[in-house]
Amino acid sequence: MKYRRLGKTDIRVSVIGIGTWQLGGEWGKIFEQAAVDAMLEKAAELGVNLIDTAECYGDHLSEKLIGQALKGRREKWIIATKFGHKFKPNFERDCLFEPAQVQEQLEESLRSLKTDYLDLYQFHSGNDEMFDVPGLWEMLRKQVKAGKVRHLGVSISRKQGSMYQVDKSSTVGAEAIQVVYNRIERKPEGQIFDSCIRQNLGVLARVPLASGFLSGKYSKDAKFTGSDVRSVWPDNEMNEHVEEVAKVQSEVPQGTPMAQWALAWCLRHPAVTCVIPGCKTVEQVELNAMATDLPDIRDDHPQAV
Ligand SMILES: NC(=O)c1ccc[n+]([C@@H]2O[C@H](COP(=O)([O-])OP(=O)(O)OC[C@H]3O[C@@H](n4cnc5c(N)ncnc54)[C@H](OP(=O)(O)O)[C@@H]3O)[C@@H](O)[C@H]2O)c1
């Protein structure tokens, strides 16, 4: 595994992390504890040390499964979770960004993860008004002082995410940005990444496989079950994904699995610290972690350690 420093923090993360929205049950699969144990064991064996979860991947469900799996080994991991939402069925959420609500969520996340500190606590894709809720960041900085949170971050929304939040990150005390970035969604190149480099913010590239499409395994006829978030995508979004993936297929070196190539592609950018592909099986964890061996992931990257 290769490692990079997360911006100006003292955190050293594996370039390939693991995303765990999937564990909340919204990706067409219910996870038993034993399956999660096996995935995280394989990840650790391959040098993966970064896990991204959230309060609303199930009602703290993903966090609970992770907490149980990492019992006794918590300090070997960098745990990133998020605040601002309450899980509801049918892919819905309530937004809760008032300081007292977030403080409550923090305690629930700590309990669920069976830990007394979080490595990275991220604002979860709210709009600018939510970002500016009075007292929010003051309360969060107090949690840092109290040792419950090591570092703060901002996960910007695909739809509502704004340059405002990125540019203001250092001012509010956030040290990392999480953003959708992959070979077919390159909007962060330019203003967002420039601002991250200027502020020396760590960057977690999320949705690096374009929701699985950048593995090359889906056609326009793909059908997802009702419990899979991709089942509620409009047809045109699905078609666009398939068409965009087909256009980049020729860039994949012969013999390299497309998913691995897609992860390594994200890690070429000087602003990007790590990728956090969502995984559903031990095989996916393994294949994704092995992307670290591809030559695109260079030792002279500015954040390499
Ligand atoms: N607002 C936010 O902060 C936010 C929003 C979205 C995501 N995230 C975080 O980012 C993580 C990653 O994003 P994502 O999970 O939405 O999208 P993604 O990582 O682009 O795609 C994940 C999906 O790709 C498929 N996959 C994974 N590895 C594969 C492999 N080696 N070969 C073939 N298929 C593979 C799996 O689904 P199938 O096998 O079923 O195709 C998996 O569910 C999430 O888990 C979550 O932690 C955060």
Q: Is 84 in the pocket of ligand 1 (CB under 6 A)?
A: no
Q: How far is CA 252 from each of CA 60, 185, 235, rounded to the nearest angstrom?
A: 37, 17, 26
Residue 160 has pLDDT above 80, yes or no: no
Question: What is the mean predicted confidence (pLDDT) over 58-85?
Answer: 98
In this model, does residue 13 exceed pLDDT 80? yes
Residue 258 CA to ligand 1 center (angstroms) comes to: 14
Position 163 scores a pLDDT of 95
**What is the per-residue pLDDT for 159?**
78
CA torsion, points 213, 215, 217, 223, in degrees to nearest 10?
A: -30
* pTM (2 d.p.): 0.98
Across the range 109-125, mean pLDDT stands at 98
206 lines ligand 1 (CB under 6 A): yes
Pocket of ligand 1 contains residue 124 by CB under 6 Å: yes
Average pLDDT over the chain, rounded to an integer: 97
Average pLDDT over residues 28-48: 98
Please give the distance, rounded to the nearest whole angstrom, from the Cα atom of residue 285 to the centre of ligand 1: 11
- Kindly provide the b/e burial profile for residues 199-226, where b requires at least 16 CB atoms within 10 angstroms of the residue's own CB: bebbbbbbbbbbbbbbbbebeeeeebee
Question: Does the pLDDT of residue 78 top 90, yes or no?
Answer: yes
Atom 1 of ligand 1 has which residue's CA nearest to it?
A: 125
pLDDT > 90 fraction of the chain, expressed in percent and rounded: 98
- Tell me the per-residue pLDDT of 254-304, one tens digit each, with 9 for 90 and over: 999 999 999 999 999 999 999 999 999 999 999 999 999 999 999 999 999
Which residue owns the Cα nearest ligand 1 atom 19? 277
User: pLDDT class for 161, splitting at 50, 70, 90?
Assistant: low
158 pLDDT band, cuts 50/70/90, is: confident
Whether 278 lines ligand 1, by a CB cut-off of 6 Å, is yes
Mean pLDDT of 59-74: 98
Q: Is residue 113 within 6 Å of ligand 1 at its C-beta?
A: no
Residue 235 — very low, low, confident or very high, per pLDDT cuts 50/70/90? confident
Residue 188 has pLDDT above 70, yes or no: yes
Mean pLDDT for 166-178 is 98
- pLDDT score of 217: 98
The top-level CATH class assigned to 3-293 is alpha beta
Ligand 1 atom nearest 277 alpha carbon = 19
Give me the residue spans of the domains in the chain: 3-293
Q: Is the pLDDT of residue 150 over 90?
A: yes
Find out whether the beta carbon of 181 lies less than 6 Å from any atom of ligand 1: no
DSSP collapsed to 3 states, the chain: CCEEECCCCCCEEECECEECHHHHCCECCCCCHHHHHHHHHHHHHCCCCEEECCCCCCCCHHHHHHHHHCCCCHHHCEEEEEECEEEECCCEEEECCCHHHHHHHHHHHHHHCCCCCEEEEEEECCCHHHHCCCCHHHHHHHHHHHCCEEEEEEECCCCCCCHHHHHHHHHHCEEEEEEECECCECCCCCHHHHHHHHHCCEEEEECCCHHHHHHCCCCCCCCCCCCEHHHHCCHHHHHHHHHHHHHHHHHCCCCCCHHHHHHHHHCCCCCCCEECCECCCHHHHHHHHHHHHCCCCCCCCCCEC
From the alpha carbon of 212, which atom of ligand 1 is closest? 24
pLDDT confidence band for 41 (50 / 70 / 90): very high
Query: Tell me: the pLDDT tens digits for 198-225?
Result: 999 999 999 999 999 999 999 999 999 9
pLDDT at 166: 98
Q: State the pLDDT at residue 140.
A: 98
pLDDT value of residue 280: 98
Q: Is 25 in the pocket of ligand 1 (CB under 6 A)?
A: no
